[in-house]
Amino acid sequence: MGVLPGPRPIRPWVYPGKPASCTPDDSYGLSGVRHPTGGSVAALRAIGTRKRPVPTRGGRPLPPRCRRPAPVSAPAVSAGRAADQSWLPTHGRNLAGFLRSWWRRCDSRRCAVIRPDWGTPVVEFRLLGPVEAWLGGRPLDLGTAKRRGVLAALLVDAGRTVDVETLIDRVWDTGAPAQVRSALYAHLSRIRGLLTQVSAAGVPATLDRRSGGYAIDVDPERVDLLRMRRLVDRAATPGVPDEERAGLLRAALDCWRGEPLAGLGGRWMAQVRQGLHQERLTVAVSWAQLELGRGNGAAVTGPLTALAGEYPLVEPLAAALMRALSATGHRSRALDCYAAIRRRLAEELGVDPGAELQRAYRAILRGGDDEPAPVPAGPPPGTVPALLPLDVRGFTGRSDELAQLDALLDAAGRQPTAVVVAAVAGTAGVGKTAFAVHWAHQVRHRFPDGQLYINLCGFDPARPAVEPGEALRAFLEALGSAPPRVPAELPAQVNMYRSLLAGRRVLIIADNARDAEQVRPLLPGAPGCAVVVTSRNQLTGLIAAEGAHPIALDLLSGDEARRLLGNRLGARRVAAEPGAVDEIVERTARLPLALTIVAARAAIQPRVPLAAVRDELRRAQRSLDQFTDEDPAADLRAVLSWSYNALGADAAWLFRLLALHPGPDVTVPAAASLAGLPVAGVRPLLAELARAHLLTEHAPGRYAFHDLLAAYATELVHGKESEAERQAAQRRVFDHYVHTAFAATRLMMPHREPVALDPPARGAVPERLADRTQAVAWFVAENAVVLAAVERAAAAGFASHAWQLAWTVADFLDRQGRWLEIVESQRTALEVAEQYGDVTGQLVAHREIARGYVRLGAHDDSQRHLEHLLRLFAEQDDLPGQAGVHMNLCQVMQARGRSADALDHALRSLTLYRQTGDRSGEAKALNSVGWTYALMGEFEQALAYSQEVLPLFVQQDDATGEAATLHSIGYAQHHLGRYQEAMGAYRRALPIAGGLGDRYHEAVILDHLGDSHHGAGEVAAAREAWRRAMAILNELDHPDAGQIRVKLIEAGAGSG
């Protein structure tokens, strides 16, 4: 077998925006006037059959140009939409378009909307296409792109004040020049002059300077975006008949002329643009559903077909189009539509069609109505993330701030196109995480598609801040994307993330953010989701550019602080000593973290009066006189010092050492190695720290620090332990992870060539793993810690530990498809190995980097590292090393489709392994030669090599090689037309691959077994093999499942 192909690149979800703009040529300059549909013709015919008295003034008839046309009813417009209009002359088409545009401005029931003033030219500002202003049928000169950007940034919020900083962020993004305010004021001056020109024509429009910013005051009917939203709002009014509602929604759709805000760049413009696309889609689907419900499938088929071409991955749109096609008798076209979007979803996003699309598909197959939709709608079981930490016991206060978040969520429910973003800011220890998590638990029922949580470690002294790409990979996996499907580049990750969130209601908590840049990629692109960001900083960039709602968490009030203590200690105990409680509240600066620590200490001493606790806090605070009493940090530091000093000596020593531990949390065995103690000896010390609230047991047997406590412990360990003591503790914990991970990878891959390790340091006790299952479970639990240990070891100068740790985790990451993490960790290992002149580490790192790159499809980078590695091995006259590199280069050439070069490297590898007498390497090289011949179509030669190597793998008890070779034999036999022999080889390979836990290889063998059954005419057996293969690939979320589904459909099985 050759290497597995790397993931297909994820194409960004872009909107091609095929503009359908039309320059109005009527004298009134009405917007949205297109060459009319049949509805306009029907309207003309309706008008032509009605008689109306001629208007008079002073007893004399008005001239025709001053008369208003008769009102046109909504049924007259709607009923004629599908009629043929090809016979209508040009001036008639313009008149029809004019009438339809005029109808959009009228409320046939109430006449409440402003109608055109026939004595003045019509003005329109356009955002739903290129940014334009029209006056009397002619475009006004708006000047440069930046000026159009300023105008757009104001018109989006017409009638509301936009402050100067927000305007600058919206228009200039991060590239603002030094004199940006002068440039802004110049543009505002020109815009004011343009609006004066409009007002002089009889249409009031002004640019007003208000407190802190500027506002454009203009009739919303004159702005196409605002007019569209008004039409949608009127359609949503209770009691509006379906016929009128459909007409209003269609009128809203007709406001569009192409890509909104076309030609304007920047982050804010892109975000608004994406939100507008979502509004358009929501309106289109609602309109289509109304018309389908009224039996007007023919009216929606054309518009939906055009929209589906612009938005090929939007499932609700495709489902509506399928239903429309089926309703109008085009069942085969509807099924073709399903097949097309299913294929694109698999190829571009690596996902299957959602529940709504599948319901529509099944209904069309049955020829009946849709199945009832489940309530609430959501992704299939197993893909709904639930990542919230535990809620805080006895959470107290914050009622006003919680109400703000509730109000934001309620407002978003009234405006379904909005994404809720809240920026929660406050000082360290004020309870931001507890607040966000508590609220999230209260509202999680409103997010049936899941809750995502991540600690971004923006201020953690022990760990670097989480990069956006790392956070996105975690979220994408939680949303059901297998790691191989996650792209390597950040923009592609963002597109995939936002595409997966589209149409879902997911709550996202981004905790402990460093700045706005760390958070922006985590924001959804479509409505329905809510995001709560917590940070010590104000995140003004997020507030200005993304419209985040700021929520400031101040210190608890005195009453709230007392209630917190009462919840923890009991109301009776707190009420018995009000004076002591009041002083404790003040000495903890009303910080929740400090109050919680004090309460924990008091709770484990129930007979100690709270006055004694107060006195201890007084003494602790006096000993820290370098801080001012006004600084909340001084009060918190005093609480930490007091709580730490109350620990036993061994627990205090462990608290300090834990600052040296890498990774997000620590287990009991790892803490034992760090301290050089037996597991039984360290367990009670961890329990003591947890009771004192200096450590949190967030999962059974796993302990974590609050970042403030980590900072305090770091300060203590550097002040009390010598450098030699710190180095010894770090060596013990690094040895713990290196030797445990080495044992785990040997259990998973017994035939992998091992690296040499030094014995573990005295006091380090690696964990004992019994079998492969335990090994995999250990890596699942500890891989994040091992990867953090690579970074920490490199930074601390433990070069050998750094590259050895990276080597131990590489196989696990490879099987998980987390190839980018292989490359990143091995780069760190390579840098430190080069810095310290560790040649072995360099050789290992180059090979593992190449492996990661070939999996990622970065073949040039992989080849570069391997060729460098080949030179290093040649300089050392290392024949086995050269043989292995030739094998790797063979795999790279196979992946690049250069079979001749691949064969050359495979044969060189075979020669070198035979020279060195390495029978295991010889067997692997023979299999590579055979598989390369198969890729070249030389199946007889491929079969000969594979049959030669099979006994070698059997003798060496190499199950991985045996399964791969049997697969190669089956593949060659199949292509030689010997289907029974191929099936025999595949059947022998299947249980071996299954026993190894290599699920992907098992699915590939089943797929090829199905091909051989099909070739032999055994269709039922082929279907069964393909179904089994597809089930595995669906579990793995692998895109190859789509190819097998096509085979099943073509074989007549269907996959529904």
In CATH, what number does 399-552 get? Answer: 3.40.50.300
pLDDT at 210: 79
Query: For the chain, how far is it from start to end, CA to CA, in angstroms?
Result: 32
Confidence of residue 969 (pLDDT cuts 50, 70, 90): very high
* pLDDT higher than threshold 70 for residue 839: yes
Residue, of 925 and 1034, whose pLDDT is higher: 925
Percent of the residues in the chain that have a pLDDT greater than 90, as a whole number: 32
* Residue among 457, 465, 463 nearest 792 (CA): 463
pLDDT at 91: 39
Residue burial 235-244, b: 16+ Cβ < 10 Å; e: rest = beeeeeeebb
Token pair belonging to 68? 């208003």
Let me know: does 870 contact 832? Beta carbons within 8 Å. no
What's the whole-number average pLDDT of the chain? 80
Cα-to-chain-centroid distance, residue 1041: 22
* Residue among 890, 1001, 1004 nearest 936 (CA): 890
pLDDT in tens, 798-820: 999 999 999 999 989 887 778 88
pLDDT at 418: 64
532, β-bridge pairs: 422, 509
Q: Tell me what the mean pLDDT of segment 761-790 comes to.
A: 92
Residue, of 851 and 355, whose pLDDT is higher: 851
Q: Sign of dihedral through CA atoms 795, 797, 801, 804?
A: positive
d(C-alpha 808, C-alpha 248), whole Å: 63
pLDDT at 1038: 65
Residues 6+ apart with CB under 8 A from 80: 37, 38, 39, 40, 41, 42, 43, 45, 46
d(C-alpha 150, C-alpha 168), whole Å: 8
Confidence of residue 4 (pLDDT cuts 50, 70, 90): very low
Provide φ and ψ at 158, rounded to 5°. -55, 135
* pLDDT higher than threshold 90 for residue 859: no
Residue burial 745-779, b: 16+ Cβ < 10 Å; e: rest = bbbbbebeeebeeeebbebbbbbebeebeebbebb
Let me know: does 968 contact 934? Beta carbons within 8 Å. yes
Let me know: does 789 contact 734? Beta carbons within 8 Å. yes
Q: Between the CA of residue 1017 and those of 601, 798, 980, 988, 1020, what are the distances in Å?
A: 76, 62, 11, 21, 9
Let me know: does 790 contact 825? Beta carbons within 8 Å. yes
Least confident of 80-84, 242-246, 805-809, 813-817: 80-84
Q: Sign of dihedral through CA atoms 353, 355, 356, 360?
A: positive
Residue, of 646 and 404, whose pLDDT is higher: 404
423, β-bridge pairs: 533, 550
* pLDDT higher than threshold 50 for residue 96: no
Percent of the residues in the chain that have a pLDDT greater than 70, as a whole number: 82
422, β-bridge pairs: 532, 549
pLDDT at 1034: 75
d(C-alpha 228, C-alpha 125), whole Å: 12
Token pair belonging to 474? 């975690």
Provide φ and ψ at 1021, rounded to 5°. -65, -35
For helices 267-293 and 164-172, angle between their N-to-C axes, nearest 10 degrees: 80
Let me know: does 56 contact 49? Beta carbons within 8 Å. no
Confidence of residue 909 (pLDDT cuts 50, 70, 90): very high
Residue, of 90 and 845, whose pLDDT is higher: 845
d(C-alpha 501, C-alpha 13), whole Å: 13
d(C-alpha 521, C-alpha 454), whole Å: 13
Least confident of 113-122, 131-140, 167-176, 291-300: 113-122
Residues 6+ apart with CB under 8 A from 435: 398, 401, 402, 424, 534, 553
d(C-alpha 13, C-alpha 499), whole Å: 7
Residue, of 382 and 753, whose pLDDT is higher: 753
pLDDT in tens, 253-296: 999 888 899 888 887 787 788 778 878 888 888 898 888 888 88
Provide φ and ψ at 702, rounded to 5°. -125, 125
Cα-to-chain-centroid distance, residue 375: 24
* pLDDT higher than threshold 80 for residue 157: yes
Q: CA geometry: angle at 940 spanning 939 and 943, to 5°?
A: 85
Q: Between the CA of residue 40 and those of 253, 394, 548, what are the distances in Å?
A: 16, 65, 43
CA count, 13 A, side-chain hemisphere, 110: 6
Residue in this structure with the two tokens 């991540």, named with its chain if needed: 454
Q: Between the CA of residue 380 and those of 48, 67, 475, what are the distances in Å?
A: 55, 60, 17
pLDDT at 17: 32
Q: Tell me what the mean pLDDT of segment 86-114 comes to.
A: 39
* pLDDT higher than threshold 50 for residue 162: yes
Confidence of residue 236 (pLDDT cuts 50, 70, 90): confident
Per residue, what are the HEC states of 590-618?
CCHHHHHHHHHHHHCCCCCCHHHHHHHHH
pLDDT in tens, 535-578: 988 888 888 778 889 998 888 888 888 888 888 888 889 888 88
d(C-alpha 411, C-alpha 416), whole Å: 9
* Residue among 1038, 1027, 898, 905 nearest 4 (CA): 1038
- Please state which architecture CATH assigns to domain 258-366: Alpha Horseshoe (1.25)
Q: Tell me what the mean pLDDT of segment 80-100 comes to.
A: 39
pLDDT at 725: 95
d(C-alpha 204, C-alpha 483), whole Å: 57
pLDDT in tens, 604-653: 888 888 888 888 877 765 544 333 344 444 456 777 787 888 889 999 99
d(C-alpha 1009, C-alpha 1015), whole Å: 10
Residue, of 962 and 641, whose pLDDT is higher: 962
- Please state which architecture CATH assigns to domain 649-721: Orthogonal Bundle (1.10)
Q: Tell me what the mean pLDDT of segment 976-984 comes to.
A: 95
* pLDDT higher than threshold 90 for residue 670: yes
Residues 6+ apart with CB under 8 A from 816: 483
pLDDT at 351: 63
592 class by beta-carbon count within 10 Å (0-12 exposed, 13-18 middle, 19+ buried): buried
875 class by beta-carbon count within 10 Å (0-12 exposed, 13-18 middle, 19+ buried): exposed
Q: Tell me what the mean pLDDT of segment 747-765 comes to.
A: 88
Question: From the CB of residue 873, how many other CB atoms can be counted at a distance below 10 Å?
Answer: 20
d(C-alpha 961, C-alpha 965), whole Å: 6
Token pair belonging to 961? 């090689």
pTM score of the predicted model: 0.54
Cα-to-chain-centroid distance, residue 8: 18
Q: Tell me what the mean pLDDT of segment 592-598 comes to.
A: 83
* pLDDT higher than threshold 80 for residue 659: yes
138, β-bridge pairs: 135
